[in-house]
């Protein structure tokens, strides 16, 4: 019999309430032990009821609100209960210790409640991915994208693609045995039209992948320039606190400092980098090389420079995403400028960053993970093969049918209907114990 599991679903900290979850075949039996009473009359009501909680030696621990869920009516699809106790650290500790002494209970592993929901077909793999993203969401864009995946919007689109391919395959298979008797021109014309439409959709999703992936992980914005150009002062102003050491001494910043920032819902990771200059210091040279590597991969570079001609001396080629500003804008000089000391130009900078990231940028909520992109790329390869077979003088319907089955299999992979085990470890490693 599957073990009944329990875990604290709220943080281990002083709070108004703490919530403990129990799930599995002996959930209600475990509740009757810690409540020291028969709960059968309460279970079917699925309402909160107030009960005293006792230790294994019948010592009163707390008074709690308890709600029960019968099998097939819970998040995990198993018998399940939630115990809402007072959020005292000692109350949480003693209640968890009491549950841990019940022989048929064990503490849940990270994400195990969600994994049971997946195993019991309450959630699909993509919904689990969406739930993981939702739990880690820090900005509105991340929240929206995660909810699109968790609520099944992404699955709906993939299912539509799959239905198109199934329709094409059914037409092909129906005509394999009678190919000599049918109007092959009309058949191939319709097949070509549907496959090209599907290819267009997948290419659109592939193009938008970078944006969707960056919504999950954050867009990187590197602040670069020569030593003492105000990079650390600027990032400290953005953070409204001291995250980087500032000094009149050149070469103070050696490691890349990261600042996570919510820009009107867009997740940004600002990078405070080492000042770029020629140096004989081995450690500083490593920091400068790291700066060049990260800055070249960044979505946007904020280049603090007195002149646009400094780009080559900094080791960069001009990019359309670069934002070049004169540093120390609190002093007289050319415009546009910025000052981390006074805050001059920061509002304009943030709006320009937003414009560069969002305007004319394709958005997608269907594929936002590397495993999704791999599946889409394989589908596009199959489509390329189908187009080649269609263009041949001697059309082999059996070969086309085989490629179409490959596309369907990869759509099933996107939906999490096949080959799920290989990705579960990575997903659930990011879940908390009580989820």
Asked if omega into 50 is within 30° of 0 (cis), the reply is no
Task: Specify which residues 7 forms β-bridges with.
Answer: 21
pLDDT at 394: 75
**Residue 364 within any structural domain of the chain:** no
Rounded-to-integer distance, Cα 28 and Cα 46, Å: 13
Q: 111 is written with which tokens?
A: 């994400």
**380-424 residue pLDDT tens:** 999 999 999 888 777 788 899 999 999 999 999 888 776 656 556
Mean pLDDT, to the nearest integer, of 347-357?
Answer: 92
**Residue 123 within any structural domain of the chain:** no
pLDDT at 328: 84
Whole-prediction pTM value? 0.75
User: Between residues 287 and 213, which one has the greater pLDDT?
Assistant: 213
Identify the weakest region by mean pLDDT among 194-198, 325-329, 373-377.
325-329
Count how many Cα atoms sit within 13 Å of the Cα of residue 259 in the half-sphere of its side chain. Answer: 24
Q: Which residues contact 30 (CB under 8 A, 6 or more apart)?
A: 4, 6, 22, 99, 102, 104, 105
* pLDDT, averaged across the chain: 84
Residue 33 predicted with pLDDT over 90: yes
Q: 246 is written with which tokens?
A: 């500032």
pLDDT classification of 199: cutoffs 50, 70, 90: very high
| CATH number, position 32 | 3.30.1360.120
**Residue 164 within any structural domain of the chain:** yes
Residue 8 predicted with pLDDT over 90: yes
Burial 42-74 (b: 16+ CB within 10 A, else e): bbeeeeeeebebbeeeeeebbebebbbbeeeeb
**Residue 130 within any structural domain of the chain:** no
**Residue 412 within any structural domain of the chain:** yes
Statement to judge: residues 272 and 349 lie in one domain: yes
Statement to judge: residues 224 and 208 lie in one domain: no
Residue 37 predicted with pLDDT over 90: no
pLDDT at 148: 87
Statement to judge: residues 242 and 311 lie in one domain: yes
**Residue 155 within any structural domain of the chain:** yes
pLDDT at 116: 94
pLDDT at 163: 93
Statement to judge: residues 250 and 186 lie in one domain: no
Statement to judge: residues 228 and 354 lie in one domain: yes
Q: In 3D, which of 157, 159, 130 has the Cα closest to residue 145? A: 130
Statement to judge: residues 89 and 211 lie in one domain: no
Number of domains in the chain: 3
Statement to judge: residues 347 and 249 lie in one domain: yes
Identify the weakest region by mean pLDDT among 16-30, 240-254, 362-376.
240-254
Mean pLDDT, to the nearest integer, of 93-106?
Answer: 96
Mean pLDDT, to the nearest integer, of 161-165?
Answer: 93
The answer to whether 61 touches 83, Cβ cutoff 8 Å, is no
Statement to judge: residues 208 and 237 lie in one domain: no
**Residue 134 within any structural domain of the chain:** no
**Residue 127 within any structural domain of the chain:** no
Q: Tally Cβ neighbours within 10 Å of residue 355.
A: 10
Statement to judge: residues 417 and 388 lie in one domain: yes
Domain boundaries, position 44: 4-108
Residues in the chain: 435
pLDDT at 277: 52
Last residue of a domain, one of 93, 108, 123: 108
pLDDT classification of 342: cutoffs 50, 70, 90: very high
The answer to whether 220 touches 267, Cβ cutoff 8 Å, is no
pLDDT at 249: 42
Residue 251 predicted with pLDDT over 60: no
Statement to judge: residues 90 and 165 lie in one domain: no
The answer to whether 24 touches 99, Cβ cutoff 8 Å, is no
pLDDT at 224: 84
| CATH number, position 272 | 3.40.50.300
Statement to judge: residues 233 and 289 lie in one domain: yes
Residue 284 predicted with pLDDT over 90: no
Statement to judge: residues 230 and 198 lie in one domain: no
CA gyration radius for the chain?
Answer: 29
Residue 124 predicted with pLDDT over 50: yes
């Amino acid at each position: 019999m599957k073990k009944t599991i329990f875990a604290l679903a709220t943080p281990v900290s002083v709070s108004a309430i703490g919530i403990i979850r129990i799930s599995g075949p002996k959930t209600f039996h475990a509740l009757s032990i810690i409540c020291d009473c028969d709960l059968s009359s309460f279970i079917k009501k699925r309402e909160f009821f107030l009960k005293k909680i006792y230790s294994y030696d019948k010592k009163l621990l707390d008074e709690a609100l308890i709600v029960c869920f019968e099998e097939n009516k819970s998040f995990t699809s198993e018998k399940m209960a939630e115990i809402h106790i007072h959020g005292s650290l000692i109350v949480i500790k003693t209640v968890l210790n009491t549950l841990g002494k019940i022989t048929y209970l064990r503490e849940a592993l990270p994400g195990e409640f969600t994994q049971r929901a997946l195993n019991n077909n309450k959630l699909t793999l993509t919904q689990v991915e969406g739930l993981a993203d939702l739990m880690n969401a820090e900005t509105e864009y991340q929240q929206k994208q995660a909810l699109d995946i968790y609520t099944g919007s992404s699955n709906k689109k993939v299912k539509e693609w799959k239905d198109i391919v199934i329709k094409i395959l059914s037409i092909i298979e129906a005509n394999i045995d009678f190919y000599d008797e049918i109007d092959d021109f009309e058949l191939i014309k319709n097949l070509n039209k549907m496959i090209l439409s599907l290819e267009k959709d997948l290419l659109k999703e592939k193009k938008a992948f970078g944006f969707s992936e960056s919504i999950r992980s954050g867009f990187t914005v590197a602040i670069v320039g020569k030593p003492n150009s105000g990079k650390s002062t600027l990032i400290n102003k953005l953070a409204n606190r001291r995250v980087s050491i500032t000094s009149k001494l050149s070469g103070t910043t050696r490691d890349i400092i990261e600042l996570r920032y919510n820009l009107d819902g867009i997740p940004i990771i600002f990078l405070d980098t080492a000042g770029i200059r020629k140096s004989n210091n081995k450690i500083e040279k490593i920091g400068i090389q790291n700066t060049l590597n990260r800055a070249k991969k960044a979505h946007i570079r904020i280049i603090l420079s007195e002149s646009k001609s400094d780009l080559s001396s900094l080791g960069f080629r001009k990019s359309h995403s670069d934002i070049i500003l004169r540093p120390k804008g609190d002093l007289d000089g050319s415009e546009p400028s910025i000052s981390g000391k006074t805050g001059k130009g920061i509002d304009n900078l943030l709006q320009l960053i937003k414009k560069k990231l969002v305007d004319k940028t394709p958005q997608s909520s269907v594929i936002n993970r590397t495993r999704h992109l791999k599946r889409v790329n394989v589908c596009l390869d199959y489509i390329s093969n189908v187009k080649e077979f269609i263009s041949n003088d001697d059309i082999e319907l059996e070969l086309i049918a085989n490629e179409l089955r490959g596309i369907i299999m990869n759509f099933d992979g996107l939906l999490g209907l096949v080959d799920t085990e290989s990705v579960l470890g990575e997903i659930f490693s990011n879940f908390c114990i009580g989820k």
